[in-house]
A and B are shown apart, each in its own frame.
Chain A
Amino acid sequence: MKHISRGAAMLLAAGAFALARPTTLQAQAKDTTKATSGIEAAAEVGVRQFDPLFSIVPNQQQLGKLLEYRDLKEGLVIPQAMLMYTPKDGMGTYQIIGRNLLQRDQSVFARASQPGSYDVQVRYDGMVHTYSTDARSLGTFGNGNLYALPSPRPDSNAWRAAPYLSPIRSIWDPLKMSFALTPTPSWDFKAEYTHISKTGDRPMGMAFGGSSNNTREILEPIDQTVQDFRLTQSFTKPRFTAVASYDFSMFQNAFNSVSSNNPQQVTDQLTNGAAVGRTALAPNNSAQTASLVVAGNFPWRTRVMATGSYSWWRQDEAFIPVTTNSYYINDPRFVVPRSSLQGEAGTSMINGSVNSHPFKDLTLTARARSFQYRNSTPELALTNFVISDRSVAAGDTSAARPYTKTNAEFSAGYRLPMDFNLTAGYAWEQWLRDSTERNVHTTNEVTPRVSLDYMGVNWLTLRASYTKGSRRGSTYNAMTTSENPNFRRFDEADRDRERTNFEAEFMPVDQLSFSLTWEVGHDGYPNSTYGVQSDKSIMAGGSAEWSPSNRFMFNVGYSREDYNDLLQQQYRTGSTPATANNPTWVWLNNNTDHINTSYAGFTAVLVPGEWDAGGTISMSDATFLVASFNPVTPTGGTAAQNLSATATNFPAVTQLLHPQSYFVRWTYSADWAFTLRYNVESYNQNDYRTQTLTPAIGTTANHVNLASYYQNYNVGWWSFLVSWHPSLMKFGVGRSTM
């Protein structure tokens, strides 16, 4: 309710403001192109109703995907409401606009500004993220942030009969405020404050046993706050600009841990796990960042810019106890040397660039940048771990993973005859990592690129670019003895990269335009015998827009995307080279995604000034396949080992989203308009990973889960909206009915 009450409070404040002032509201039509003064108001109010004529009326459990990022409720809807004050001199904007009021995804925007002087903005924009509406589980959540289960523990039949939970979602209440002041054209001051409150929950897993049994899917309780305060001061003269800023941000989590009863055990066991598992959640943290930008303009239209940024991060959340298992709580092997992290990290960045036009048609740009992530958190050495509150393992020492990324780039652009614009560039990037923590200490990548743009005639725009990069690293060090010596991690491996892009816009006549896009990307890993071999993407699409007159507009578009990621690995059973080098245990994985997206839309003025209509229809059709295979049949091991080394194709996953929206609007007078809108949306997903699950897997309840997934639906809904002073809501009337 917090978000709704905030929005309502802002509107009440606006209403009080309106009533307190003498109204000069005119009953006549308001043309926004004319400067009027006084208070004006507009609103759009209506009703929404799901269509009962659909043969399948979705139930609550089917609506997960439909409600993913929105709040669709039947009954009264207020898509828009607006209150605006214009002073007599016409200078200044004072307005408050509400959208989707009294819904979870409502937004309220208030602004008071005078061009060139000040600008005060306050924006609240509620956001809902629904993860599931069909999750099922047993037990309760309460004392000690514990997902409790009854004793004795429910059996698999009881889990399969578990009741549905309320919709699982997180709700964000972002409130953003800014105050900008321009006392002179040279000075700009801005203060910004962001407060995001996140509440709700989302699914998470918890393990109680080894790698092959005893897990439970629970919900992560969410009660988090994000705050950010930023001050920016800039000074500008024709030849000089300086911008300084300071930012303080803070994350607070009301839950530093969550616990769950083990679905298999009611008492702690020495080797079979604990009755309760407890995990840490995201700790509170804070950061400060200071930055400075200095830029100067010099002869030959040369601009020199230098930027520096430095940030400090802190995290000192107290550690939660090592384990819940009473057999280990007081065991000296698990003593933690200190009570909190004393974490200190941060980033720093320096950037310098020069841009110059020594000749009329020549542009030269040079840039150098260094970015560093540092982490000075003191190490923490633990003698032993209790894995999943169950099994004892050798401990480890925590380690930071700092890195430095340095870039340099030079490019030259030349305006050729016939208005072709040719740009060629050469970039270099170097990563320096800690070689005791990562496989490769140094990688260097060089990337030449060229682009050609044409805008010589007003009916044609062409843009093409080609980039070819080559990354090579220093010696690749395996981090463990069990790692295959020929394996390479993709983010550190040698890489050859190509990117080709082509865009065209063609407008043979003013009423007709076409656009084409073709984009190909390929990352190849030439020295990775094992690991990612290649990553390819192709996107091709086109669109057309036709306006035969100023009363009609039609548009269509289509795109096809193909992604292909090829992985090669080798199954192994141990850490000795002999088992690592069984060539028949090699397997490959081809992960392919195909996505077709198409849309069409139209708007039509049926009777000028009275009737207009429109509609959109789109379809996103995706299929992805995880195809795995062995180049040769696995042999040489035991029957069980050979079977484990045998790769299996996963079934194809398909997703089809098909929304449609149509409206017809009658403008009765300049003050009143009526909109009838009809939305249809269908969703069809076939995903073996979730839809075959029941809350308990197998005959024993050793894997219990929420058995939730986005179910299929086919739903329609009507909206009837009455708009008062629609011309004041020029940028959204009749639109906000999602």
Chain B
Amino acid sequence: MRHLRWLLAASALLVASRNAPAQQAAKAAPPPGYAGSATCVDCHKKEIGGFMASPKGKLLMQHPRDEKERLGCESCHGPGKQHAESGGEERGALIYFSKKTKTPVAERNAACLQCHEKTARVFWKGSAHESRNVACTDCHTMMHPESERANLRKDNVMATCARCHATQVAKQTHYSHMPVAQGKMECTSCHNPHGSPNEKLLIATSTNETCYTCHMEKRGPYLWEHAPVVESCANCHDSHGSAHEKMLKVSRPRLCQQCHASSGHPIAPRGTTLPADAQFVFNRQCSTCHFNIHGSNHPNGAYFNR
């Protein structure tokens, strides 16, 4: 605990010593081409009022840490002197983020990335969303956020993603699904929409490692491993939802019969006669006996039935 206290105290001192000159500088005259936030307030009082109350507004407008943040409104919107001097008639070099903007997406995104191209956004450039010309402001809004976190345009992550990913979101209404609609998970629990070095913008290096963040019991390694399980959970499951139990892509026993074509009971096109077909077609089907299908640590578990 003593070390933690020293670390916190040192950090606080560092922050305080850095903020003090920045706060003084905030009152300095704006650089050439810039109008200064005070000028913006004259005409945009309503918009700025809401922004001022937000954490980002407090940082930029009241407690800037460096020259960039000291520009206030213009740290994102760019130099506005020409716009101000024309009485709002001319756009000048301003960057607009509104629905009717003519500012190219790349230019708008660059304004955000000048501060946010780090941590979770480090892979934005070249990402699937960047290459499809998605703007930061397609999902986020600084002035009128509808969400509790992340300044989203919709009131939650799923609704935000639904704008383009209707198929995945529709699966949330299927018979089996993860508790995303119930607010216990978000699309961002598994995906990083800002870019990732991994397939499907996953947060972990593979599908399985993403699933293991919650389902760590599946990680193993096991004495007896099931090859398609080791390679990808998505071989059998549709993680967005399915009409089948346990988010399976196809109903058992057909799911298993896709691969298990050797002799014996797996290949028979079993019918629905009780009790002869009971454990093959009804209830847990193949998993009645082969319940350890994700892997077994039992010395006799080669067939995943122990």
Does any Cβ of B come within 8 Å of A444's Cβ?
no
CB distance from B282 to the nearest CB of A (A): 5
Q: Which residues of B contact A (CB under 8 A)?
A: 11, 14-15, 18, 49-50, 52-53, 55-56, 58-59, 62-63, 65-66, 69, 99-101, 104-106, 115, 117-119, 122-123, 125-126, 130-133, 146-148, 155, 163-164, 166-167, 170-171, 173-175, 179, 182-184, 197-199, 205-206, 209, 212-214, 216-225, 227-228, 230-232, 235, 242-244, 249-251, 254, 257-259, 261-265, 267-272, 274-276, 278-279, 281-285, 287-289, 291-292, 296-303, 305-306
Chain A contacts for B131, CB-based, 8 A? 363, 365, 411, 413, 423, 451
Let me know if B59 and A116 touch, CB within 8 A. Answer: yes
Given contacts A241-B118, A293-B122, A647-B269, contact A207 B288 (CB under 8 A): yes
CB-nearest residue of chain A relative to B235? A491
| A-B contact sample (6 more), CB < 8 A, given A367-B126, A491-B259 | A116-B59, A207-B279, A279-B298, A377-B221, A589-B257, A655-B175
Chain B contacts for A388, CB-based, 8 A? 289, 305-306
Given contacts A347-B209, A517-B167, contact A196 B243 (CB under 8 A): no
- For this complex, 26 residue pairs linking A to B, each with C-beta atoms less than 8 Å apart, are A91-B59, A116-B65, A118-B15, A184-B14, A185-B65, A207-B288, A280-B297, A305-B125, A313-B220, A343-B221, A343-B223, A377-B223, A385-B302, A387-B303, A401-B227, A403-B231, A463-B132, A531-B261, A561-B171, A563-B243, A574-B263, A591-B251, A595-B173, A689-B281, A693-B282, A697-B278
CB-nearest residue of chain A relative to B145? A731
Let me know if A206 and B262 touch, CB within 8 A. Answer: no
Does any Cβ of B come within 8 Å of A49's Cβ?
no
Binary interface profile of A, 289-320, with partner B (CB < 8 Å = 1, else 0)? 00001010000000101010101010101011
Chain B contacts for A127, CB-based, 8 A? 179, 184
Chain A contacts for B279, CB-based, 8 A? 205, 207, 211-212, 215, 703
Given contacts A188-B118, A353-B126, A531-B261, contact A105 B15 (CB under 8 A): no
Let me know if B285 and A703 touch, CB within 8 A. Answer: no
Let me know if A539 and B300 touch, CB within 8 A. Answer: no
Chain B contacts for A496, CB-based, 8 A? none
CB distance from B193 to the nearest CB of A (A): 15
| Contact partner, A645, options B117, B173, B225, B269, Cβ 8 Å | B269
CB distance from A658 to the nearest CB of B (A): 11
Let me know if B182 and A224 touch, CB within 8 A. Answer: no
- In the bound assembly, the distance between CA atoms of A449 and B268 in angstroms comes to 40
Let me know if B100 and A458 touch, CB within 8 A. Answer: yes
Given contacts A322-B300, A355-B126, contact A89 B269 (CB under 8 A): no
| Contact partner, A115, options B50, B58, B146, Cβ 8 Å | B58
Let me know if A530 and B122 touch, CB within 8 A. Answer: no
Chain B contacts for A575, CB-based, 8 A? 263
- In the bound assembly, the distance between CA atoms of A377 and B297 in angstroms comes to 13
Let me know if A319 and B173 touch, CB within 8 A. Answer: no
Let me know if B272 and A226 touch, CB within 8 A. Answer: no
Stretch at the interface among A7-15, A38-46, A620-628, A711-719: A620-628
Let me know if A400 and B297 touch, CB within 8 A. Answer: no
Given contacts A280-B296, A280-B301, A531-B261, contact A35 B58 (CB under 8 A): yes
Chain A contacts for B170, CB-based, 8 A? 539, 541, 559, 561, 595, 597
| Contact partner, A620, options B174, B205, B283, Cβ 8 Å | B174
Given contacts A251-B217, A438-B227, contact A482 B269 (CB under 8 A): no
Let me know if B133 and A453 touch, CB within 8 A. Answer: yes
- In the bound assembly, the distance between CA atoms of A295 and B119 in angstroms comes to 11
CB distance from A397 to the nearest CB of B (A): 10
| Contact partner, B263, options A226, A572, A693, Cβ 8 Å | A572
CB-nearest residue of chain A relative to B232? A491
Let me know if A703 and B278 touch, CB within 8 A. Answer: yes
Interface set, chain A 667-725, CB cutoff 8 A to B: 685, 688-690, 692-693, 697-698, 702-703, 705
CB-nearest residue of chain A relative to B197? A351
| Contact partner, A593, options B59, B105, B243, B259, Cβ 8 Å | B243
- In the bound assembly, the distance between CA atoms of A373 and B219 in angstroms comes to 12
CB-nearest residue of chain B relative to A238? B114
Chain A contacts for B267, CB-based, 8 A? 569-572
Does any Cβ of B come within 8 Å of A54's Cβ?
no
Let me know if A125 and B184 touch, CB within 8 A. Answer: yes
Let me know if B227 and A437 touch, CB within 8 A. Answer: yes
Let me know if A624 and B251 touch, CB within 8 A. Answer: yes
Given contacts A572-B267, A626-B254, contact A243 B122 (CB under 8 A): yes
| Contact partner, B205, options A349, A354, A565, A628, Cβ 8 Å | A349
Does any Cβ of B come within 8 Å of A503's Cβ?
yes
Let me know if B117 and A118 touch, CB within 8 A. Answer: no
Chain A contacts for B298, CB-based, 8 A? 279-280, 319-320
Chain B contacts for A415, CB-based, 8 A? 104
Chain B contacts for A645, CB-based, 8 A? 268-269
Chain A contacts for B173, CB-based, 8 A? 595, 597, 618, 620, 657
Let me know if A463 and B164 touch, CB within 8 A. Answer: yes
CB distance from A642 to the nearest CB of B (A): 12
Chain A contacts for B275, CB-based, 8 A? 697-698, 702-703
CB distance from A451 to the nearest CB of B (A): 6
Let me know if A347 and B269 touch, CB within 8 A. Answer: no
The 6 A-B pairs with the shortest beta carbon distances in the complex, nearest first, are: A355-B126, A648-B271, A282-B217, A698-B275, A647-B269, A207-B289
CB distance from B290 to the nearest CB of A (A): 8
- In the bound assembly, the distance between CA atoms of A400 and B257 in angstroms comes to 23
- In the bound assembly, the distance between CA atoms of A343 and B295 in angstroms comes to 13
CB distance from A314 to the nearest CB of B (A): 9
Does any Cβ of B come within 8 Å of A633's Cβ?
no
Let me know if B122 and A305 touch, CB within 8 A. Answer: yes
Does any Cβ of B come within 8 Å of A515's Cβ?
yes
Interface set, chain A 392-438, CB cutoff 8 A to B: 396, 398-401, 403, 407, 411, 413, 415, 421, 423, 437-438
CB distance from A165 to the nearest CB of B (A): 16
CB distance from B273 to the nearest CB of A (A): 8
CB distance from A504 to the nearest CB of B (A): 11
Let me know if A91 and B269 touch, CB within 8 A. Answer: no
- In the bound assembly, the distance between CA atoms of A181 and B10 in angstroms comes to 12
Let me know if A491 and B231 touch, CB within 8 A. Answer: yes
CB distance from A60 to the nearest CB of B (A): 21
Chain A contacts for B179, CB-based, 8 A? 69, 127, 129
- In the bound assembly, the distance between CA atoms of A347 and B222 in angstroms comes to 15
Binary interface profile of A, 23-42, with partner B (CB < 8 Å = 1, else 0)? 00000000011110000000
- In the bound assembly, the distance between CA atoms of A183 and B271 in angstroms comes to 67
Chain B contacts for A90, CB-based, 8 A? 58, 62
Let me know if A731 and B155 touch, CB within 8 A. Answer: yes
* Of B166, B268, B270, B275, most A-chain CB atoms within 10 Å: B166
Chain A contacts for B264, CB-based, 8 A? 211
Let me know if A211 and B289 touch, CB within 8 A. Answer: yes
CB-nearest residue of chain B relative to A294? B122
| Contact partner, B269, options A129, A287, A569, A593, Cβ 8 Å | A569
- In the bound assembly, the distance between CA atoms of A249 and B183 in angstroms comes to 24
Chain A contacts for B166, CB-based, 8 A? 503, 515, 517, 539, 541, 543, 559
Does any Cβ of B come within 8 Å of A604's Cβ?
no
Let me know if B133 and A689 touch, CB within 8 A. Answer: no
Chain A contacts for B130, CB-based, 8 A? 355
Does any Cβ of B come within 8 Å of A583's Cβ?
no
Let me know if B225 and A401 touch, CB within 8 A. Answer: yes
Let me know if B263 and A315 touch, CB within 8 A. Answer: no
Does any Cβ of B come within 8 Å of A270's Cβ?
no
| Contact partner, B272, options A515, A532, A651, Cβ 8 Å | A651
